[in-house]
């Protein structure tokens, strides 16, 4: 099922010859949709815009969709959908299992790299964003009919494991009994130990070699560290209500065996240079080279990232690879993508995108830290929100605050604001859903027909609600292509506002006949869209609050 807007757009384009850039009307008096197509054509044809508009309008074959279009202002063409078209569209949406979200005609394999915590460290505020945003994109793209493969690129490999393992042996700890916070404390001790004890540092470095060589004792302890970490991550994921499971794990260690071959392929492609003893790839436009192999012979994390791309293209057959990672890594990923292209790990028809998100700030406007200056853990954050609201509401508050702002900007973590039930917040949307659910619940008690249809749309509030409902599919599609969840948030907020006005002006239970049935249908359609939209944000649509 294709949306009314896309249908109308196609009809206009058939006459105008160019994309009409149909937009939602910016004001009620401009109808439902507006197009600037005549203004743009006037530019190339050298005729007055309104004249062009008049010629176009005469040729449009859209009378089955809209009222006669109006030409306004400098040459805008305004469209108002016919009421019977709107009623039918909402009725169709009610019967649609996908709630008006069209299944893509071009299903892709989309790899989303997100969450990616580090072994032996608790997740903190940064991981909150990576996890919540990635999870939302995963849900949205799945809903659109793409095959989504989540990849959590956990930090389970590298030099830090040398000192971790050595510290465990020094202290005589059974690694399998550790909790994640205990493992993190161990990390801190190991790190300090490494800095102050030369002998320990030497042993730690030797231990890294043993790990890479596959020494059994070392590997066993390493595995225990991963296991206790995964237990901690999964606990956090369960609390967050995200989709991630162990099936989504694709840690750095997974690519370890590929690295020599990756580097060999790079060298064969002739793009590598040895500089200061390190194997580098220089790319035009980048100040610094990518260091693929360090002068000591070890592989850098860039090599792992290249191996990951190679794997995702060759084995997972990705058409699109999305990285949900902190904005501070933008330069790094630009370079990785560029090198991957040069090395032909990344064919031209495979898209890579870095969804770069900003930093979470405290109410003082500075990066969110504890008094001691350490990163705030995810659990601390959730605890703080749950002090002010019931868990599902607190979670909605946090996720929505994260998703409703533009991703590339920093945002202030202000619990007091985000748990408010008024304004553009998660709890407000949950409230709207609970309220409309309550009406339907009461109506059910009194009985209403199975086959709800929208037949009457006389009140402006009803029409506005119906119009917004028909846009849901377009909004989801837009988020799927732009990867900007805040647009879905804004839409749902607007819908909730329209529902509140409708609710105020159009009594449902006290009305009768076709009006009552229509209003119930509008309520049900709104409930379904809110539920679907909230679910895509990873927020639970509550039946009661």
- How far apart are CB 270 and RNA at their closest, in Å? 18
Count Cβ atoms below 10 Å from residue 296 Cβ, excluding itself.
7
497 near RNA (CB under 7 A): yes
Is 148 or 456 the residue whose CB approaches RNA more closely?
Answer: 456
N residues, the chain: 545
122 near RNA (CB under 7 A): no
Question: Interface with RNA by CB under 7 A: which range of 29-37, 53-61, 121-129, 161-169?
Answer: 29-37
Strands 351-357, 76-79: parallel, antiparallel or unpaired by DSSP?
unpaired
Q: Kindly tell me which residue out of 3, 9, 34, 131 binds RNA, with binding defined by CB under 7 A.
A: 34
26 near RNA (CB under 7 A): yes
- How far apart are CB 147 and RNA at their closest, in Å? 26
Contact 258, 304 (CB under 8 A): no
506 near RNA (CB under 7 A): yes
| DSSP class of 155 | B
- Which residues are CB-contacts of 428 (< 8 A; sequence separation ≥ 6)? 420, 421, 422, 493, 496
72 near RNA (CB under 7 A): yes
Closest CA to 188 of 240, 122, 247, 239: 122
**Alpha helices by DSSP H, 144-278:** 160-171, 180-196, 198-213, 216-240, 259-268
- How far apart are CB 162 and RNA at their closest, in Å? 11
- Which residues are CB-contacts of 130 (< 8 A; sequence separation ≥ 6)? 114, 115, 116, 324, 325, 326, 357
1 near RNA (CB under 7 A): no
434 near RNA (CB under 7 A): yes
Cα separation, 127 vs 123, whole angstroms: 6
Is 148 or 473 the residue whose CB approaches RNA more closely?
Answer: 473
Contact 34, 26 (CB under 8 A): yes
Q: Kindly tell me which residue out of 145, 241, 300, 362 binds RNA, with binding defined by CB under 7 A.
A: 300
Total interface residues for RNA by CB under 7 A: 91
- How far apart are CB 377 and RNA at their closest, in Å? 18
Is 142 or 438 the residue whose CB approaches RNA more closely?
Answer: 438
357 near RNA (CB under 7 A): no
| DSSP class of 64 | T
Q: Kindly tell me which residue out of 74, 107, 195, 391 binds RNA, with binding defined by CB under 7 A.
A: 74
Q: Kindly tell me which residue out of 45, 197, 261, 331 binds RNA, with binding defined by CB under 7 A.
A: 331
Judged by CB under 7 A, the chain residues 507 through 526 that form the site for RNA are 507-510
Q: Kindly tell me which residue out of 486, 534, 536, 537 binds RNA, with binding defined by CB under 7 A.
A: 486
């Amino acid at each position: 099922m294709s949306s009314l807007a896309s249908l109308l757009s196609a009809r206009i384009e058939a006459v105008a010859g160019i994309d009409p850039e149909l937009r939602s009307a910016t004001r009620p008096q401009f109808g439902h949709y507006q197009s600037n197509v005549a203004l743009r054509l006037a530019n190339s044809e050298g005729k007055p815009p309104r004249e062009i508009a008049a010629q176009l309008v005469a040729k449009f074959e859209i009378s089955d969709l809209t009222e006669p279009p109006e030409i306004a202002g400098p040459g805008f063409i305004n469209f108002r959908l016919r009421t019977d078209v709107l009623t039918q569209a909402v009725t169709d949406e009610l019967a649609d299992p996908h709630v008006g979200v069209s299944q893509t005609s071009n299903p892709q394999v989309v790899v989303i790299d997100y969450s990616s915590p580090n072994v032996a460290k608790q997740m903190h505020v940064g991981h909150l964003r990576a996890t919540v945003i990635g999870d939302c994109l995963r849900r949205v793209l799945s809903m659109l009919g793409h095959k989504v493969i989540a990849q959590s690129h956990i930090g389970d490999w590298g030099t830090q494991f040398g000192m971790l393992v050595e510290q465990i042996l020094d202290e005589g700890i059974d690694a399998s009994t550790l909790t994640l916070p205990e493992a993190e404390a161990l990390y801190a001790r190991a790190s300090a130990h490494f800095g102050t004890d030369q002998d320990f540092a030497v042993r730690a470095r030797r231990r890294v070699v043993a790990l890479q060589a596959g020494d059994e004792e070392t590997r066993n302890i390493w595995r225990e560290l991963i296991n206790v970490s995964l237990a901690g991550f999964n606990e956090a994921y369960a609390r967050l209500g995200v989709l991630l499971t162990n099936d989504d794990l694709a840690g750095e260690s997974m690519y370890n065996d590929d690295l020599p071959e990756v580097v060999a392929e790079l060298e064969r492609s002739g793009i590598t240079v040895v500089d200061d003893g390190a194997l580098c790839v220089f790319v035009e436009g980048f100040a610094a080279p990518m260091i693929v192999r360090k002068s000591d012979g070890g592989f850098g994390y860039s090599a792992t990232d290249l191996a990951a791309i190679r794997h995702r293209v060759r084995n997972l057959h990705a058409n699109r690879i999305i990285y949900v990672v902190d904005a501070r890594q933008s330069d790094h990923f630009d370079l990785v993508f560029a090198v991957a292209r040069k090395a032909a790990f990344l064919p031209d028809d495979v898209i890579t995108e870095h969804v770069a998100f900003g930093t979470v700030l405290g109410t003082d406007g500075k990066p969110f830290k504890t008094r001691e200056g350490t990163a705030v853990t995810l659990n601390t954050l959730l605890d703080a929100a749950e002090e002010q609201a019931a868990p599902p509401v607190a979670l909605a508050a946090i996720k929505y605050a994260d998703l409703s702002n533009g991703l590339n900007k920093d945002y202030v973590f202000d619990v007091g604001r985000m748990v408010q039930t008024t304004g553009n917040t998660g709890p407000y949307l949950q409230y709207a859903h609970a309220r409309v659910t309550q009406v339907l619940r009461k109506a059910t008690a009194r009985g209403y027909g199975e086959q709800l249809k929208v037949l009457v749309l006389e009140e402006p509030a009803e029409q506005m609600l119906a119009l917004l409902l028909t846009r849901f599919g377009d909004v989801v599609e837009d988020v799927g292509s732009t990867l900007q969840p805040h647009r879905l948030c804004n839409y749902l907020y607007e819908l909730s506002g329209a529902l509140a006005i409708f609710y105020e002006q159009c009594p449902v239970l006290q009305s009768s006949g076709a009006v009552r049935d229509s209003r119930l249908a509008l309520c049900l359609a709104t409930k379904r869209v809110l539920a679907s939209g909230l679910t895509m944000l990873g927020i639970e649509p509550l039946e009661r609050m």
